[in-house]
Amino acid sequence: PLVSGIDMLTHAHENNYAVGAFNYANMENLQAIIEAAEELNSPVIIQVTEKSIKYAGLHYLYALGKCAGENAKVPVVLHLDHGKKWETIVKCIRHGWTSVMIDASQKPFEENVVLTRKVVEFAHAVNISVESELGFIGGKEGDITPEDNIYTDVEQAAEFVSRTNTDSLAIAVGTAHGIYKGEVRIDFKRIQEIKERTQIPLVLHGSSGVPDDLIQRAVQAGINKVNFDTEIKLANLEALKCFINEYPNEYDIRKIYEPARKAMKEKIKEKIRLLSSENKN
Ligand code: 13P
Ligand code: ZN
Ligand code: NA
């Protein structure tokens, strides 16, 4: 079923595990996510960015997400990832998204507080959960160009959470969107301190390219939602290249996409296993 993000992440927060959040932009991509979650009997978050909405259209993405959620054997949250525009957030809530992110992380602190607070009031009136971001998680995501991370300040995070009443908080602790050029370093102490001061579900972005043991340590430190995108896209690309290389004359899109969908599913299962969300249905 399609469920609100409030209960799903509260359960993860209270029981010290994390739920995987995976981006989708087409049907095969989405089916891979749902099949992976079902095979592991794990709750899952499916999410779209404003860029994906531009590509596929809000109504198509909603129809896919609703169909996936309603037919799934596990709880599914339909989430807007990195919502920047108030207009996108309102449209998603009106269509039936069950969770939204307001990403005002590039605005000054006070503006971030005011905008996030406004989204929370609006979303909570219809039981929709809100994720927000404090600090800045760099790298390549949507329209964001590569930039240096601004680590989330612990005291500011405490003030931000109490003033906005946000349901979950994306924090900058060393990860970045896309694949890393150098070694990944995560500030686990900062995760723990933010958790102690805020006592809400915390979100890790930019998780592709982060070694498995670091993901697990981040979850132990207090992360409850882990976003994976690039590695799933790469699994898709590799499988497509491989198939087309082997069968250059095959034009049946179903035959071409079968191994790619399977490759995405296997990669997603690998990620879900790291988060201890199996059998938390
Ligand atoms: P990656 O592409 O590094 O997995 O980041 C995904 C993400 O944070 C989506 O919001
Ligand atoms: Zn992100
Ligand atoms: Na990454």
Cα(81) to ligand 1 centroid in Å equals 10
Q: Give the bridge partners for 144, in sequence order.
A: 141
Question: Ligand 1: which residue has its CA nearest to atom 5?
Answer: 206
What residues contact residue 211 under an 8 Å CB cut-off, 6+ apart?
184
What mean pLDDT, rounded, does the chain reach? 96
pLDDT at 151: 96
Comparison of pLDDT for 193 and 180, the residue scoring more: 193
Q: Is a pLDDT exceeding 90 seen at residue 8?
A: yes
Given ligand 1 and candidates 100, 177, 225, which is best to mutate, with the most ligand atoms within 8 Å of its CB? 177
Cα(136) to ligand 3 centroid in Å equals 14
CATH architecture of 5-274: Alpha-Beta Barrel (3.20)
Kindly name the residue from 81, 167, 187, 213 that is annotated as catalytic.
Answer: 81
Question: Looking at the predicted complex, does its ipTM rise above 0.85?
Answer: yes
d(CA 77, CA 158): 26
pLDDT at 250: 98
pLDDT at 141: 55
Reported as a single tens digit per residue, the pLDDT across 82-104 is: 999 999 999 999 999 999 999 99
Reported as a single tens digit per residue, the pLDDT across 162-185 is: 999 999 999 999 999 999 988 899
What residues flank ligand 1, with Cβ below 6 Å?
Answer: 23, 81-82, 141, 177-178, 205-208, 227-231
Cβ proximity of 131 and 170 under 8 Å: yes
pLDDT at 256: 98
pLDDT at 96: 97
Reported as a single tens digit per residue, the pLDDT across 130-142 is: 999 999 998 875 5
Helices (H), the chain: 5-14, 27-39, 50-56, 58-71, 86-95, 109-124, 154-164, 188-198, 212-221, 230-246, 253-274
Question: Ligand 1: which residue has its CA nearest to atom 9?
Answer: 227
pLDDT at 147: 57
Question: Ligand 1: which residue has its CA nearest to atom 3?
Answer: 206
pLDDT at 181: 84
pLDDT at 174: 95
Reported as a single tens digit per residue, the pLDDT across 210-252 is: 999 999 999 999 999 999 999 999 999 999 999 999 999 999 9
Q: Is a pLDDT exceeding 70 seen at residue 145?
A: no
pLDDT at 149: 85
- SS3 of 232, please? helix
d(CA 38, CA 40): 5
Residue type, 1: P
Domain ranges of the chain: 5-274
- Give 146's pLDDT tier (boundaries 50, 70, 90): very low
Active site residue 81: yes
Cα(100) to ligand 3 centroid in Å equals 21
Q: Is a pLDDT exceeding 90 seen at residue 41?
A: yes
